[in-house]
Amino acid sequence: MKTSLTGIKPTNLPHLGNYLGAIQPALSLVDEYRTLYFIADYHALTTVRDAEALRGHIRDVAATWLACGLDPERTLLFRQSDVPEVFELTWVLSCLLATGQLERGHAYKDALSRGESPSAGLFNYPALMAADILLYDTDIVPIGKDQKQHLELTRDVAMRLNHIYGDDTLVVPEALISQAPLVRGTDGQKMSKSKGNGIPLFEPPKKLRKSIMSIKTTSEGLEDPKAAEGSTVYDLYALVAPERALQMKQKLASGGYGWGHAKEDLFQAIEAEIGPKRDAYLAMRADEEQLDAILHAGADKARQIARATIQRVRSAVGID
């Protein structure tokens, strides 16, 4: 069975876009691949400067994935920082990466173009990401189109290491380009934590409802026929309740069905999907001991794979 690896940054409370665009598609890979999902807490340090918030987000993310159906018996769920071997590999890879490759990194270039003074951590993070992937003999990395560059860098450095030190040292991973939908937020733009247009996943139903009622729509009257195409309310409904999407489309087209009605139907559909998961999330989030035990058990198993990789790398480069 091939290995698939996904990193999750614990920087925010997941929104509906994360659920439909990342969590659901990732969980659907479990039957086909040996799956490893790690919480990228060291990556979060490039932006999070609040220790208590980071501690909280790590558990928020773990509880979210478990509540959404991750089975820790089938998927290794662990914290990046519980496998310190990742730094050893980061260093070895850094010695093979050209600074020019890192200078071309999207995140680094974006920070420069915003006039910021990026940290060395942000500059180097593609090296840490390559180590995250290569440490676990990963065959497949599910990614969005915008992440192609990082995987190319990972493949490049793995091939370089194998070329110099021996072909069997590292597994060279392949990208699995995500077919996941792009989920739009309340303003019609891509849902994003930084834009304030997110529909919350596990906030109380009242807040969920308020957020859905704030979705921008056109301004036809109640009796007017309305076009489903291009409407955020309809698009979201089609993602959450695809079997009933045609029905909503017809109701909109025939008039007498307002955007308020459509939003109410969307709220009901989302609540039916995530309400039970919210209850599971709240129960899991409250039991921190149990959450930490799951993460540690995952790390123990992940570390066995990591140790074997590091042994191969050490011996290949001449540090045994």
Q: Does 22 bind ligand AMP (CB under 6 A)?
A: yes
Helix, coil or strand: residue 173: coil
Give the single-character DSSP code of 242.
G
Q: Give the residue, chosen from 10, 21, 72, 173, that forms a contact with ligand AMP under the rule CB under 6 A.
A: 21
Q: Give the residue, chosen from 3, 18, 46, 169, that forms a contact with ligand AMP under the rule CB under 6 A.
A: 18
Where in 164-193 is the site for ligand AMP (CB under 6 A)?
180, 182-183, 190-193
Where in 197-216 is the site for ligand AMP (CB under 6 A)?
none
Identify any residues that bridge with 177 across adjacent strands, giving them in sequence order. Answer: 143
Q: Does 66 bind ligand AMP (CB under 6 A)?
A: no
CB of residue 115 to ligand AMP, shortest distance in Å: 22
x/- map, 125-144, ligand AMP, by CB under 6 A: -------------------x
Spatial contact of 37 and 65, defined as CB atoms under 8 Å apart: yes
The Cα 90–Cα 211 span in angstroms is: 42
Q: Give the residue, chosen from 10, 17, 105, 258, that forms a contact with ligand AMP under the rule CB under 6 A.
A: 17
Tokens of 169: 């040292």
Question: Considering beta carbons, is residue 197 or 309 the nearer one to ligand AMP?
Answer: 197
H or E segment to which residue 125 belongs: helix 120-134
Binding-site size for ligand AMP (CB under 6 A) equals 13
The Cα 121–Cα 234 span in angstroms is: 41
CB of residue 216 to ligand AMP, shortest distance in Å: 15
- Nearest residue to ligand AMP on Cβ basis: 21
CB of residue 206 to ligand AMP, shortest distance in Å: 23
Which amino acid is located at 138 in the chain? T
Question: Considering beta carbons, is residue 142 or 258 the nearer one to ligand AMP?
Answer: 142
CB of residue 22 to ligand AMP, shortest distance in Å: 3
**Among 18-26, 97-105, 113-121, 215-223, the segment contacting ligand AMP (CB under 6 A):** 18-26
CB of residue 179 to ligand AMP, shortest distance in Å: 11
Spatial contact of 21 and 179, defined as CB atoms under 8 Å apart: no
CB of residue 120 to ligand AMP, shortest distance in Å: 22
H or E segment to which residue 269 belongs: helix 259-286
The DSSP code sequence of 154-182 is HHHHHHHHHHHH-TTSS---EEEE--PPP
The Cα 136–Cα 34 span in angstroms is: 11
Q: Does 54 bind ligand AMP (CB under 6 A)?
A: no
The Cα 212–Cα 206 span in angstroms is: 10
The helix, strand and coil proportions of the chain, stated in percent and rounded to the nearest 5, come to 60, 10, 30
Q: Which residues bind ligand AMP (CB under 6 A)?
A: 9, 17-18, 21-22, 144, 180, 182-183, 190-193
